[in-house]
């Protein structure tokens, strides 16, 4: 099973990527793509199947770089509720990443 600490680290890198997206995009073609792009594509694929609420939390916190407090204010929720939703998001991603990892392992064993 994928560890939550690993997912948190990935999300931190994804958040950084989106905060500096213009820089990454500007050098496309001059420099090879950074490996974070693979994680961005994977997480964006995984989040597409989430509930609208978890999708919104992912986009708001990691794509738009809002803080939990900022998102709570924007949505009219308490910061504690946003923290709870973020934990649900982490668990959702953990489950989906584990499923994807198992699929890859099955495919490699079949080949």
Tens of pLDDT, residue by residue over 26-63, are: 998 888 888 999 999 999 999 999 999 999 999 999 99
DSSP 34: P
> pLDDT tens across 63-77, in order?
999 999 999 999 999
C-alpha distances in angstroms, 103 versus 77, 89, 107, 108, 109? 37, 21, 6, 9, 10
For the chain, what's the residue count? 111
pLDDT of residue 61: 98
| pTM for this prediction | 0.91
Measured from the Cβ of residue 41, the count of other Cβ atoms closer than 10 Å reads 10
- Residue 28: strand pairing partners: 31
Q: How many CA atoms lie within 13 A of 78 on its CB side?
A: 3
Task: Say how many Å lie between the first and final Cα of the chain, rounded.
Answer: 23
């Amino acid at each position: 099973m994928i560890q939550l600490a690993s997912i948190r680290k990935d999300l931190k890198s994804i958040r950084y990527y989106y905060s500096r997206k213009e820089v990454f995009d500007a050098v496309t073609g001059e420099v090879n793509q950074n490996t974070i792009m693979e994680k961005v594509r994977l997480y964006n694929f995984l989040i597409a199947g989430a509930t609208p609420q978890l999708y919104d939390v992912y986009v708001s916190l990691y794509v738009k770089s809002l803080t939990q407090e900022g998102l709570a204010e924007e949505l009219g929720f308490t910061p504690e509720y946003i923290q709870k939703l973020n934990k649900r998001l982490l668990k959702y991603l953990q489950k989906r990443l584990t499923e994807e990892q198992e699929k890859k392992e099955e495919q490699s064993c079949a080949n």
